[in-house]
Chain A
Amino acid sequence: MNKVLEVKNLSIQYKTDLETVYAVNSISFSLNAGETLGLVGETGAGKTTTALGIMGLLPERTGKVPSGEILFEEKDLLTLKEQDMMKIRGGKISMIFQDPMTALNPVLPVGKQIGEALLLHNTENLSNDEIEKKVEETLELVGIPKARKVEYPYQFSGGMRQRVVIAIALICNPNLLIADEPTTALDVTIQAQILSMICNLQRMYKTSVIMITHDLGVVAETCDKVAIMYAGEIVEYGTLGDIFTGEIHHPYTIGLFNSLPSLTKDSHRLHPIEGLMPDPTVKPEGCWFAPRCKYCTEQCKKQKPPVVEENGHQVRCHFPVHQKGVE
C-alpha cells in the first residue's frame, strides 16, 4: 500500500521571549491510503499542535519546527512555499475543527462557505453553476437538505453546523482529512451519527483520516492505527488490535483505560491517573511519565526510555507492562 503521510521525528515548539514550550517531541508515524489513525491523549499532549503542524497553520511568530519531516505524497510539507501550501490546504489535506459553533463565518450563507473551498481549488475549471451543484451534492451527502444552502450558520443547530464544517472539509475530495475532536462539542446521539458519516464518506472516497480524540470509544469504533500521546511524545503506537488486545503496553495506556468507568465491574469510584502532566516548558531527565507511574524505578527517573518494538507495536518504556489486553 502506498503511504499518504509519513511524519518523521517531528518536533514542534512554541517560542516566546519568556519561555519555550516543547509541545511535540520527535514523533513519527505513517498513514496509508484509506487508513484511519487515532491520536489519543489528554489535554495538552500535543495532538492539536501535531495537526496544525501538518496543516502548516502554526502561529506564525511563536510556532517553530526545529526538526523533522512531514512527507505528504512524497513531498516534504515543511519545505514548501506558502503559496504551494495554500494549494494543498483544503485541496488535498483538510481539517475538521473541534467547535462547530465558532467554526463558521456568521455573515456568509453556508452554501457560499462550502463553495469557497472549491472555488479556491478549482483545478477542473468548474463554472459557477457547476460549483453550486457540487455544493448541493455535498450538502445532501452530509445529510442537509440542499434548499438550506442559502441559510446562515445561526439558523443551524450544533450538529447541523458540524455537518456543514465536514462538508467544507470534504468538498474537494481531500486525500487526507484531519478531524480534530470532531464530536467533542456534540451530544452522544449526534456523535454516533457524525462518526458513522465520516467513516462512510471515508470508505467512499478512500480518504486517509487522522482522528484526534480523547475518547477511547471513538478510537475503537473508527481507527485502524492508534498513537497514544503523552507530553508531546508518542508513548505507544500500533494497530487497533495491538493497543486493545496486544501483549505489551505502556503504563500510561493502561492508566487511560482504567480511568474509563466500567459497565461490568462493580466499583464505586473512578480510577484517574494521579498527578498532572509535566510542565511543557522544561524537559525533565528520564521518563516523562515517571512521576505518575506506579511502576517507576530509579532508572526511569534518570534515563530516557528506549522504544521497545514487537511486530510494529512500539512502546516507549523501560519496563513495558506485559499483559494481554488493557483491562
Chain B
Amino acid sequence: MHLLIRVLKQNMRMGVGAVNRQKSRTREQFREFWRRYRKNKSAVVGLIILVFLIGMALFADLIIPYSKCVEQVGAERLQLPSAAHFFGTDEFGRDLFARVVHGSRYSLFIGVATSLMALVAGAILGASAGYFGGMVDNIICRIIDVFMCVPPILLSLAVVAAIGTSMQNLIIAITISCIPGNVRLIRSVVLTVAEQDYVEVARSYGASNARIIFRYVLPNAMGPIIVNTTMAISDMILSAAGLSFIGMGIQPPSPEWGALLSAAQSYIFTSPYLLFFPGIFIVLSSLSFNLVGDGLTDALDPKLKN
C-alpha cells in the first residue's frame, strides 16, 4: 500500500515532460516485447483465440441478446444446428449458441478472477516463506501441507458444500484449492532468487525487506510465476466447469459451460452436439491461455533477450 502511494507521489512530482518521456519509453519496450512474442507462432495463435474469446465475452449482448438464452420454445426442442440456431437447441428449446456465447462470460471471469486472487495470496505467502525462512517458513509450509494432502477438486467441493452454491462461493472455493500449489511454487523460486548477490547488494544500500521482495525477488521469479498463472487460468476454467458439471457450481438456468455439459449428458447419444459445442469452447479457452502463457515467459524474460 505504502509502496503504491510512493509511486503515485512520484508520478505527481514528475511533471508532464517526464511523463511523456516515460510514455515513449514504455511504447518502445512494448514494441520490443511484441517483436519477441511474435517469434513464437503457437503463442500468436493462442493470442488470436484468446482475443476472439474475450471479444465474445465482452460483446455477448451485441452478438445475441441474453433473452435468447432463457427463452424456451417448446416446438423447437433438441434441434440440430441450422441457420436459425447455429449450435442447435437444448431439451427446453433454448438456443445453444446464445448459451455458449453468454457462458463465456462466466467461465472466463471465473478463470481469471480465481487465478489472480490465488496468485496474490500465493505471492504474499510464498515470498514471505521463502525470503524470511525459519519460523515463518515453517508455519506457512505446515499449513500448506495440510491443504496439499486434500485433492484440489475435493477441497473446493468441501468448501462449496460448507458455504453453499453460488457464483461467489464457487470463486472462493476454487481460489482456495489453487493457493497451496502457488505458495509452494513461489516459495521455491524465491528461495533461489533470495540467495543471489544482488539481493545482498540491495540490502547493502539500505533497501527494506518489502522493497527487496517486490522489486528484486519477485520480478526475478516472474518467469515461472507467469507461466503458472496463465496455466492456472485454464485449470480454473476446467475445475469451475467440473464443479458446475456435478451441480456444485453455477446453477441453471445460468449458461456456464460446465453446466451446459452437465445438462447435456443425458442426451449424449441422441444429440451429441449439445456436448460438442460447450466442450470445444472449454478446450479452446484452456488451450489459448496455455499457449499465451508460454509465449509470455519467452517474451518477458530479459535474461533470454536475443
CB neighbours of B305 from chain A (8 A): 152, 154
Q: 3 tightest A-B contacts by CB? A: A90-B205, A90-B206, A117-B205
CB closest residue in chain B, given A91: B206
B41 in contact (CB, < 8 A): no
Bitwise, A101-123 to B at CB < 8 A (1) or not (0) is 01111111000000011001100
Name the residue on B nearest A86 (C-beta).
Answer: B206
Chain B residues touching A, range: 20 to 34
List residues of chain B with CB within 8 A of the CB of A150: 25
Q: Which among A2-10, A73-81, A92-100 touches the partner chain? A: A92-100
- Write the chain B residue with the least CB distance to A117: B205
Assembled-state Cα–Cα distance A243/B111 (Å): 70
Total number of A residues with any Cβ neighbor in B under 8 Å: 34
- Would you call A57 and B200 a contact (CB within 8 A)? yes
Q: Please measure, in the bound complex, the distance between the C-alpha atom of A105 and the C-alpha atom of B302, giving whole angstroms.
A: 11
A103 CA to B133 CA in the complex, in Å? 22
- Say yes or no for A55: interface residue by CB 8 A criterion: yes
Residues of A within 8 A of B220 (CB): 105-107
B207 beta carbon closer than 8 Å to chain A: yes
User: Which residues of A are in contact with B by a Cβ distance under 8 Å?
Assistant: 55, 57, 61, 86-91, 94-95, 97, 99, 102-108, 116-117, 120-121, 127-129, 150, 152, 154, 165, 168-169, 172
Residue B151 at the chain A interface, CB threshold 8 Å: no
Interface class of chain B by DSSP: helix
Chain A residue, CB-CB nearest to B203: A57
Shortest CB-to-CB span from B162 to chain A, Å, is 39
Q: List chain A residues, Cβ under 8 A from B216.
A: 105, 108
Q: Which residues of A contact B196 (CB under 8 A)?
A: 102
Question: When chains A and B are docked, how far (Å) is the Cα of A97 from the Cα of B202?
Answer: 11
User: Interface readout for B172-206 with A: 1 if CB under 8 Å, 0 if not?
Assistant: 00000000000000000000000011101111111
Which one of B7-15, B52-60, B263-271 contacts A?
Answer: B7-15
Q: Can you pick out 19 interface pairs between chain A and chain B where the beta carbons lie within 8 Å of each other?
A: A86-B208, A87-B206, A95-B201, A99-B197, A102-B196, A103-B197, A103-B198, A105-B201, A105-B216, A107-B219, A107-B220, A107-B302, A108-B216, A108-B219, A121-B206, A128-B10, A152-B305, A168-B205, A172-B205
